[in-house]
């Protein structure tokens, strides 16, 4: 705001006016006073969190103070839809996916190149072939479900939109019978293309089809997800328990 890129006007008392609702400004002020140490209280309702997120976006602080806000809203939407559907399978799937909103991909031994090693994926409000999509940071790559085989794949925007198997990495184990999260794809079924693999490993690994090789020691871990205290998660778990 005060970078010189914007024209600011002083009021009659010589002050700059920030025309925003002041209800949630205390959270912003306390964060700026103690960056890295201030913890937002847990007493905010979901509506108040949404209001705060709007203010944080205005001040450019959303990623700092509520980095998982968007992904949590996606997870809550999945849970609410599953509660409306009411089936045990859909509730179990939504619960699993809402617990895996942010994922990290990597190999536990040198195999993937720097671009793919430690790649972080965040669930987005998009479905491909009836399955949620996780977008890599930077927005160039996506983790999605292939339509015909039920495999998981990592590919670019066009490949994701078409739901095809011409990605940079593929897990060739179908999870059609239990379409939960990418973490359910067996680690020893991953294949990688040349753009994802260290050159030496790509040339020496066992070839599969034309351009893929068997990827070694691939691991997908959950970095963030909704806990049982989230209202949408609690409602889904309660409904699921009633079906047990």
Residue-range domains of the chain with CATH: 1-67 (3.30.710.10), 100-224 (no CATH)
Q: What is the pLDDT of residue 148?
A: 67
Q: What per-residue confidence (pLDDT) applies to 184?
A: 86
d(C-alpha 33, C-alpha 87), whole Å: 48
Inter-residue contact 240 to 95 (CB < 8 Å): yes
Angle (CA) 152 153 155, round 5°: 160
The Cα–Cα gap between 76 and 62 comes to 19
Judged by phi (left if over 0) then psi (alpha if -120 to 50, else beta), residue 187 lies in alpha
What is the structure's pLDDT at 105?
Answer: 96
Task: Give the pLDDT confidence score for residue 177 in this predicted structure.
Answer: 53
Per-residue pLDDT of the chain (244 residues; tens, 9 = 90+): 778 888 888 888 889 888 888 889 999 899 989 887 877 777 788 889 899 999 999 888 998 899 999 999 999 999 999 999 999 999 999 999 999 999 999 999 999 999 999 999 999 999 998 899 999 988 899 999 987 677 899 999 999 999 887 789 999 887 655 557 898 888 889 999 999 999 999 999 999 888 899 998 999 999 999 999 999 999 999 999 999 7
**Which residue in 214, 212, 134, 131 sits closest to 168, CA to CA?**
212
């Amino acid at each position: 705001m005060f970078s010189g890129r914007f024209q600011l006007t002083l009021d009659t008392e010589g002050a700059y006016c920030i025309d925003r609702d002041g209800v949630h400004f205390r959270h912003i002020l306390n964060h700026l006073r103690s960056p890295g140490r201030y913890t937002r209280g847990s007493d905010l309702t979901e509506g108040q969190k949404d209001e705060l997120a709007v203010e944080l976006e205005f001040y450019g602080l959303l990623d700092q103070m509520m980095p998982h806000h968007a992904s949590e809203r996606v997870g809550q939407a999945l849970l609410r839809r599953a509660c409306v559907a009411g089936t045990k399978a859909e509730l179990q799937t939504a619960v699993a996916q809402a617990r895996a909103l942010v994922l990290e991909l990597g190999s536990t031994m040198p195999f993937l190149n720097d671009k793919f090693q430690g790649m972080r994926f965040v669930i987005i409000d998009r479905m491909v072939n009836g399955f949620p999509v996780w977008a890599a940071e930077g927005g160039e790559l996506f983790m999605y479900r292939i339509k015909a085989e039920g495999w998981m794949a990592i590919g670019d925007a066009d490949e994701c939109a078409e739901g095809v198997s011409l990605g940079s990495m593929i897990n060739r184990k179908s999870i059609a019978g239990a379409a939960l999260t990418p973490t359910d794809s067996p680690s020893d079924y991953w294949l990688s293309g040349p753009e994802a693999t260290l050159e030496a490993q790509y040339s020496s690994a066992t070839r599969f089809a034309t351009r893929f090789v068997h990827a070694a020691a691939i691991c997908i871990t959950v970095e963030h997800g909704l806990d049982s205290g989230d209202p949408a998660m609690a409602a889904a778990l309660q409904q699921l328990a009633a079906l047990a």
